[in-house]
Amino acid sequence: MGYRLHHYNHIFPICRTSFSSFRFNLRVWCCSQSGKNQGQMKQIVVNGSETQVVVDDSNLLQKKISAIRLGGPAKLQVIADFDATLTKYRIDGCRGQSSHNVLQQEDPEFNDKRQKLYEYYHPLEFDPTIPLDEKTKLMEEWWGKTHALLIEGGVTYNGIQNSVAKATIAFRDGVTELLELLEEKGVPVLIFSAGLADIIEEVLKQKVHRSFKNVRVVSNRMVFDENGHLRSFKGKTIHVLNKNEHALDMAAPLHDHFDDVNGLSEEKSALKKRTNVLLLGDHIGDLGMSDGLDYETRISVGFLNDRVEDSLESYRKAFDILYLNDSSVHGVLKLATHLCSTESD
């Protein structure tokens, strides 16, 4: 019996083993490349279903797990991307919508204009020949034009609620349980997104049906007038190249209606003291979300949702743990439970 991974042009010998580096007592299949220590493919049985996981350096991962457990929940924070990380990449076989694509304006002309902007700028976002400083200006330009169209074409808070209700968007299995665990343990969760905070919060409200006191959305936030019409955006623009802990200074607080300026300052100070990080993302660029934090130990968890054979090599080297093919987050839930436990648990 073997697992064929064409990307390596090898057939992996498979041995049944235990995932000792996690100590989760899960049944797994461990794969190695011709006996060489060049990464491990593991098919973990979680809640009755198999999940494909790649760990490039299990020894380093175990050291990181031990270090974070030693610090305890009080030193831990979770940083997560939203689209295709907390949410599913595919729903019923179709590509799920992103938080930006969810919003539909009443005048379809403006939806078309935003789509044309996407078609022009999106290839530039991934063009390796464009210098970073020039690409940053292009992203600022793209986001600025998009936000201007949202204001010009009209957006209402009721429209956001209706757009989310009709949207093809859903959280990965296990996300609710993960957020509940982290809330119980007092671990803050920062959701970084270059999208729209109001959309993300409405998705949380409609899909999870509850709020979490430890969750904060760091994203572009809308300002509505007394009639619920979009008038402007708050703070500086957060785009794909600056969504990191530096953005905390640009973003509005999640509960800004309390107008607690001192509370926000204390929150930022407290986050800086949480120097252990569990980071979740679906792009290698998401690793930059912890920029601005002088962390001691970081465990990065990646989700490689599509074109696995094309990207596996770079992703497995970039992330400490890599889940393949639009996995659930049940494995992350077990990891978080382990990180928040004591040696005696």
Residues 6+ apart with CB under 8 A from 206: 161, 164, 165
How many CA atoms lie within 13 Å of 85's alpha carbon, on the beta-carbon side?
23
DSSP letter, residue 83 = T
Residue 195 DSSP label: E
User: Is-catalytic flag, 345?
Assistant: no
Between the two ends of the chain, the Cα-to-Cα distance in Å is: 36
Contact 282, 306 (CB under 8 A): no
Based on the residue annotation, tell me whether 320 is a catalytic residue of this protein.
no
Phi, psi of 94 (to 5 degrees): -110, 150
CA 321/CA 302 separation, integer angstroms: 6
User: In angstroms, rounded to a whole number, what is the distance separating the alpha carbons of residues 151 and 340?
Assistant: 43
Q: How many other C-beta atoms are found inside a 10 Å radius of the C-beta of residue 133?
A: 8
Pick the catalytic residue from 81, 198, 286, 320: 81
In the block, residue with structure tokens 């992203």: 139
Distance in angstroms (rounded) separating the CA atoms of residues 125 and 111: 20
Cα–Cα distance between 29 and 26 in angstroms, integer? 10
3 state DSSP class of 277: strand
Catalytic residue, candidates 56, 83, 198, 320: 83
DSSP structure string for 98-123: PHHHH---SSHHHHHHHHHHHHHHHH
Three-state secondary structure call for residue 167: coil
The rounded distance, in Å, linking the Cα atoms of 297 and 245 is: 16
Residues recognised as catalytic: 81, 83
